[in-house]
Amino acid sequence: MAEPVVTGAAERDAVLAEFRAAGALLEGHFILSSGRHSPVYLQCARLLVDPARAARLVARLREPLAARRPEIVVAPAMGGIIVGYELARQLGCLSMFAERVEGRFVLRRGFAIPAGARVAIAEDVVTTGLSTRECIACVREQGGEVVVAACLVDRSGGTAEVGVPLVALLALDLPSYAPEEIPSELAAIPPEKPGSRDLPRG
């Protein structure tokens, strides 16, 4: 279960206003990185294009993560990289990211995690928790100890399980559907796939 930082209605509306102002709260028919379909998409890349906004929102995650004393922040590419970097900057940690190679997360570019290092995983949006769990597995293979995960939005409404405490700026219960369960009104809209998981590798 996620531990949302923002729980009050007024504060929640203020954070959602940041998404709307950035054009990051989209409505239509979207295929999420998980493969599920939804009428709502959170395009955090638009939200984070403004470094001041990124710093302001990520700052809300700093205190609950600092209590877990991470030494390294690891983010799954692509979506979590900016969140992970800014979180590491504010915590005074090292920042790394994991990349998919032949379908699984690995550390490249000379990144290495010392055995026993305390690691936080950083995401932009959690839907099913799959990317987070796969990133956790990658870190554990390197000998790191994952003590917490964090995201800007847990769109599962708190139902996603990642195997470690999950701290979310917001927990939203947004509808999503398996491909065989798409309602007719959503199926009538041509789908878009804004995520980066299946982009061709150069």
pLDDT tens track for 57-113: 999 999 999 999 999 999 999 889 999 999 999 999 999 999 999 989 999 999 999
Residue 108: CB atoms within 10 Å? 11
Does residue 196 have a pLDDT over 80? Answer: no
How high is the pLDDT of residue 195?
Answer: 64
The confidence score (pLDDT) of residue 79 equals 87
> What domains lie within the chain, and their CATH numbers?
2-187 (3.40.50.2020)
Mean pLDDT of 146-165: 91
For the stretch 8-56, pLDDT in tens is 889 999 999 999 999 999 999 999 888 899 999 989 999 999 999 999 9
Q: pTM of the prediction?
A: 0.86
Q: Is the pLDDT higher at 128 or at 66?
A: 66
